[in-house]
Amino acid sequence: MSVADPIELTRDPSIDTSIDIESTTTVAIMAEYDDVTAAAHAAAAVRNAGFKHFDLHSPFPIHHVEKYVGIRMTILPWIVLCGGLTGLCTATFLTHYTMAGEYPGLSNFSGYQFLISGKPFLSTPAYIPIMFELTILFSAFAAVFGMLFLNGLPMHFNPLLRNHRFKRVTDDRFFVVIETSDPKYDEAAVLKLLRDTHPLALERVED
C-alpha cells in the first residue's frame, strides 16, 4: 500500500481568526523556505546586513542556528540558580522552624516541638530530603516560568499567527521575518535582500 498516503490538509480558509479592521499596516516582511540550510543562510544574510528586529522561525530547534541568527546565551540558568537557592532556603527555614522553633505568641504560625523517640528537634539530616525536593521544585518552576517570561509567552496577539502561509511554520516550513520596526528597515532593500536568498515565497505580514 502507499506508505505516505497523505492526509489532505483540512485547514478551512473560512476559519478567519483575523480581526476585522478597516486599514491594515505592514508589520513585517516574511520569506518562506523549505530547507534548513537555505533558511539559516538567509538569516545570516539578514544579520550581516545589519538588521536587529528579525527572526528565523522553524518547526523544530535547529542545531547551531544561534551563530547564524546571532543569538547570545540566555540568562535562564542564572534564574534557575536563584530559584533553586530560594527553594533550599525555604525548605531549610520551614523544617527547622516548624520542628524546633516554638513561639506560642505567634499562634497559628508558631513552630511545634514534638518529642518523638527522644530525637533532637533540630535534626538537619532528617530534613535533607525535604530540602532537596523543594530545591528541585523551585528550580523547575524557575526554569519553566523563566523561559516563558523571557520568551514573552503566552502571547496570543501576534500578527504572524493570523497569516495563512505562516501556519506551516509548525509543520515543515522555515520563515525569515524582518519587522518594519527595525531601524534599518527599507521595504525595497528588504525585498531585494530576501529575494536574493531564493525563498519559496515573499509576503507582507499585515496587522
Partner 1 sequence: MATISTGPLIGSVDEIDNTYDDPRERAPLVVNGRSFGEVTRIVTSSHERPMPMAWVVCLTFSLALLTMLLVTLGMLFSTGVGVWGNTNRVSWGWPIVNFVFWVGIGHAGTLISAILFLFRQNWRTSINRFSEAMTIFAVICAAMYPGIHVGRPWLAYWLFPIPNQMGMWPQFRSPLEWDVFAVGTYFTVSLMFWYVGMVPDLATMRDRSRSKLEYYFYAFISLGWTGSSRAWHRYERMYLLLCALSTPLVLSVHSVVSFDFATAQLPGWHTTIFPPYFVAGAIFGGFAMVLTLAIPCRKWLGLQDLITMRHIDNMCKIMLATGMIVSYAYAVEFFMAWYSASKAEQFTFTNRPFGPYWPFFWSMVWCNVVAPQFLWVKYCRQNLWIVMTVAMFANIGMWFERFVIICTSLHRSQLPSSWGMFHPTLVDICMFAGTFGLFLTGFLLFLRFLPIIAMAEVKSIMPQAHIHDHGHETDPHHTSGATSHEPSGDAAKESKPWRGGNW
Q: Which residues from 98-137 bind partner 1, rule CB under 8 A?
A: 98-99, 104, 107-112, 114, 116, 119, 123, 126-127, 129-130, 132-134, 136-137
Q: Which of residues 71-100 bind partner 1 (CB under 8 A)?
A: 71, 74, 76-77, 80, 94-95, 98-99
Query: Which cell is 138 given?
Result: 523551585
Q: Is 48 in the site for partner 1 (CB under 8 A)?
A: no
Interacting span for partner 1 (CB under 8 A) from 25-33, 58-66, 187-195, 199-207: 58-66
Q: Is 61 in the site for partner 1 (CB under 8 A)?
A: yes
Residue choice 139, 185, 190, 197 for contact with partner 1 (CB under 8 A): 139
Nearer to partner 1, 25 or 124 (CB): 124
Cα separation, 186 vs 182, in Å, equals 9
Q: Which of residues 141-200 bind partner 1 (CB under 8 A)?
A: 141, 143-144, 146-148, 150-151, 153-158, 160-161, 166-172
Distances (CA, A) of 105 to 95, 110, 111, 114: 19, 7, 10, 17
Cα separation, 205 vs 159, in Å, equals 7
Cα separation, 2 vs 17, in Å, equals 35
Cβ atoms within 10 Å, residue 203: 18
Q: Is 68 in the site for partner 1 (CB under 8 A)?
A: yes
Closest to 196 measured CA to CA, from 167, 176, 180: 176
Considering the complex, what minimum distance in angstroms separates the CB of residue 188 from partner 1? 26
Nearer to partner 1, 25 or 74 (CB): 74
Nearer to partner 1, 67 or 186 (CB): 67
Q: Is 64 in the site for partner 1 (CB under 8 A)?
A: yes
Helix (H, G, I), strand (E, B), or coil: what is residue 202? strand
Q: Is 23 in the site for partner 1 (CB under 8 A)?
A: no
Q: Is 11 in the site for partner 1 (CB under 8 A)?
A: yes
Query: Which cell is 191 given?
Result: 525585498
Cα separation, 19 vs 7, in Å, equals 30
Closest to 77 measured CA to CA, from 136, 134, 143, 148: 143
Considering the complex, what minimum distance in angstroms separates the CB of residue 165 from partner 1? 11
Cα separation, 142 vs 77, in Å, equals 9
